[in-house]
Amino acid sequence: MIGVSSSSRSFASLGRYLVVGRDKVEQGRVAWTSARNLPTDEPELGAKIMRATAAQNVRVSQPVYHVALSFDPGDRVDRKAMERVVDNVLRELKLDQHQAIIVAHEDRAHPHLHILVNRIHPETGRAWDRWQDYPAVQRVLREEERSLNLRSVPASVDLSRDQRQRADDVGMPTRERPDRDHERGTGSHRGVSKINQDLGVLERAQRSAEERFAAERDLAAAESRRSRLETAIAREAQARTAFASCLEKGYRDPPAAANAFLRVAEQEGERQAAAKMRESPETFGQLIGSNRNYFGRGAAQSTEAAREVACEAAAHGASLMEARREIRSFVVEHDRAVPFAVREQVDTSAAKEAVRSQVDTTRSRLVALREAERSSPRRDQVELRLGSALRRLAPREFEALRATLSPERFSIAHRLRKMARDAVLGRDVEE
C-alpha cells in the first residue's frame, strides 16, 4: 500500500472533489462512503459539519487533514478490509475520536480511498498536530500488508524517487524534500530568477489582457455609434417623406409650410412647433379648401380634413427634427466646421466615413492584440508552473523571496502559492 497526506483550508473543496473530481462527473467515481463521529456519510454534507466544528478554533488556518491510501491492482481487498486499514491508521494517529469521512473510488485500476479528517476535536476544540504523521501511517500500512497478505511496498521514512514524487504531488513533507528543492533550484538564486521571470511573463500577460479588453470595449462603442448613426439616418429619411406627404395633402404651399414649421422648431423646439401646428395649423400656411380633391376620391376636402392632416404632419415634423439633431451630433463630433440648419437635409457622408474608419481601426488593433496573446505563453500554464514552484518553497525561503520582489509581484506570488496549496488537497495519488 501507498499512503500520502496533506493539510489544507477548505472542507467544502475537498468534499466536493472527492465526489465529482476535477471533471465534475460523479457517475462511476465513488464506490462507497463511510463516516466516523459524524451523523452522515455524505461527503459534502459531512464537510459542512466539519467546517462548523472547526470554527471553534479560529487560530487554526488549515483544519483539513487528507490521507490518500492506494492498494496494488493485484490486491484483493473488499470494503471490510479497507475500512479496517482506515480505522487502524486513524487509531495510530490518535484521530479515532475526530470527525472523518471515508470515500472509496473505483475509477482507477487499483483500489484506493481518501480520508477527510477534521483536525479540530469535536469536544475539546483542540487542534491535532500532524508532526511525524508519515512514519506512523507507514508503520500501519506495513503491518496491514502482512496481516491481510497484501503486496508489500518496501518503504521507510526515506522514500524512493517515485514515492517522493507522489508525496510531493499531494504536498506531503519528507526529509528529502529540502534536498530535492535545492537540486531543482527552487530555493536557490536560479530558482528565484526563474520565479521573477515567470512573474514578469504574468505581468505582461495581464497588461495584454487589459489592452485587449479596452480594444474590445472601444470596438463595441464604435459599432454602437455606427449603428445609431445609421438608425438616425433611416429615421430622418422616413420622417422627411411622411412629413412632406402630409403637408401635400393639407397645405396649398407645402414647401413654405415645411420651412415655417422647421423654423419654429429651430427657435422654440420641435415639441412647441408640433403643438402650434396641431392647435393653429393656419399659422404655417393656407390650408387646402373645398375646391381640391383629396386622396384621389373625387370628393371635395373640407378645411376640417386639412386640419386633421396637419396634426399628423406635426408628429412627423417633430420626428424629423429629432432625427436631424441626432445626426448633427455625429457631424459635429467629426467635423465642427460643417454648417447646420434643420431646414436643410444634413450631409452625413463625413460622419459615416469617420465612424467606419474608427470601427476598422479599432478592429485591426483588436485582431493584433489577440494574435499577440495567442503567440505568448498561456497564462494558466505559467500560473500553474509558478504556483508549483512557490508551493515547494519552505516558509523561510518564501519570506526571503519578498526582498527580491516588488510589492505587486510578491502579492501575485502570495496568491499563486495559496491557490497551489489549496489545489493540492484534491489530488489523487496518481493524478
Residue 78's pLDDT is 93
C-alpha cell at 253: 404651399
What global pTM score does this model have?
Answer: 0.44
Give the number of residues written for the chain.
431
Contact predicate 405/417, CB 8 Å: no
pLDDT of the residue at 177? 38
Cell of 386: 509558478
Q: Check if the beta carbon of residue 105 is closer than 8 Å to that of residue 122.
A: no
Contact 309, 250 (CB under 8 A): yes
* The three grid cell numbers given for residue 288, joined into one nine-digit string: 387646402
426, 14 Cβ separation under 8 angstroms: yes
Domain ranges of the chain: 2-156, 220-365
CA pair distance 293, 315, nearest whole angstrom: 24
Task: Split the chain (431 residues) into runs of 10 and give each run's mean pLDDT.
Answer: 87 89 71 94 93 89 92 89 96 96 89 94 91 89 91 54 41 37 43 78 82 87 87 90 92 91 87 91 83 44 81 91 83 49 64 85 90 81 80 78 81 80 48 36
> What is the model's pLDDT at position 335?
45
pLDDT at 20: 84
Where are any strands of DSSP class E within 71-166?
100-105, 112-118
Report pLDDT for 81: 95
**CATH topology assigned to domain 2-156:** BirA Bifunctional Protein; domain 2 (3.30.930)
**Sign (positive or negative) of CA dihedral 208, 212, 213, 218:** positive
Write down the pLDDT at residue 244: 92
Contacts 24+ apart (CB under 8 A), 328-337: 330/225, 330/228, 330/229, 330/232, 330/355
Identify the pLDDT of residue 423: 59
Q: Tell me 158's DSSP state.
A: S
Using CA atoms in the order 368, 373, 374, 376, what is the torsion angle rounded to 10 degrees? 130
Which three cell numbers mark 400?
Answer: 526571503
| Cα(64)–Cα(112) distance, integer angstroms | 19
Under DSSP, is residue 26 helix (H, G, I), strand (E, B) or coil? coil
Query: Is residue 357 within 8 Å of 186, Cβ to Cβ?
Result: no
In the block, cell 486513524 appears at: 90
